[in-house]
Structure 1
Amino acid sequence: MVLPLMPKATAVWLVENTALTFQQIADFCGLHPLEVQAIADEEVAVGINGLDPIVNGQLTAEEIRRCEGDESARLQMAEATTPRPSPKTDGPRYTPIAKRQERPDAIAWLLRHYPELTDAQISRLIGTTKSTISAVRDRTHWKSTNIKPVDPVDIGMCSYEDLLLAVQTARRRLARAEQRAKREAARRERDAAKAAAESEAVPADAPPSPPPALEVPETGTAGADNNTDGSQGGY
């Protein structure tokens, strides 16, 4: 099976930008579904920038939409003859020097209106660092007293499309986390119910049952009377 260029980076992009299932992404990238789930949970591949397979000509947007609409479908690699668009630069967005003083304002706006965004997403959107985001959140930034939240789209730090895509990705991640938490809670309830049923069926401190009573043959006076009568008859 032909794998995409940089499978793990491709998986990161597919997790962040599509509604494909973990199994679909795993099959296309040659990974285990649990590894793809760990990528979605930001447990692995945290420092890896996503690699757009559409830009690299490995997938088409139509193919992704087809598989998003059918969970049983499998992604098919695009033909090698497919013309490739101009490459897209990975990494943080470049911010003009004149606008860099407005970064804390944009960060504050995103934290207020879209708390579901991760620091990594905010960093990519407006070209900042995680330490700056933390400082704005904790009010330890040197400009904290003068920060006025401003929509980064209005000041040209990111496009509306990029912001919308980031928010949709964050909400899908939260929905998956909520479903995972529900499944885990249901599993714990089943385990607890099973353990309770087993403890009721076989009490741990139940006393042992007494042994059955032995039947002792009667040695009554009837035999003695017969012997007495016999001896008298002999004499």
Structure 2
Amino acid sequence: MSDILMPKATAVWLVDNTSLSFEQIADFCGLHPLEVRGIADGDVARDIRGVDPVTGGQLTREELDKAQADETYRLKAIVSRHAELMKSAKPAPKYTPVSRRQDRPDAIAWFVRNHPEVTDAQIAKMLGTTKSTIESVRNRTHWNSANIKPVDPVTLGLVGQLALDEIVKKAADKKTKDDLKKGGGTLQPVEEVEAEPEFVPEARQRPGAEPTAESVFGTKD
């Protein structure tokens, strides 16, 4: 992929205004030599207006002269800040080998059973699957539901242990925060219970040291 802006418009200008070979132009613009030949023949980019890469700051005049003097020389473009900004910063989608794709429903089932706090979006991003597939596994409407069994995605080789731990922790932290906002995570006040009176044993009457006849047999009256 070429780093220059408007590669076809640049190729049109180079075809019309230089003696560069088709291969040189194709290499500089990121095109196929046959496509450059089509531009020269008028079959390709017929309605595209040429753009001068020299005045556009993507090529120096010295570099252009050097290439025109040597057919084997390949042009080196000036790195364009605008071209860098136009590049997509979005990472490429996660690719899962075909041999592993059949294991994804098992991994999804593992998340559904063991970590319901992990969102469908997080599962989809981690496993490289779709929300509709996750929903079908959860509702058991997946075409292979009879054979799906929960299996740890680390064991299946779909994700690393550190990445799994991180996503589970994030989901758990978010759930805790949501519960606190809803009031479900706060402790309810304990009702006061009336304290029971302290038990005091009854005082026992201490007998005298020596029993008397009256205390044993009573009196005659």
Q: TM-score range by the shorter chain?
A: 0.3 to 0.5
* Alignment TM-score, normalising by the size of structure 2: 0.42
* Alignment TM-score, normalising by the size of structure 1: 0.39
Structure with greater Cα Rg: 2
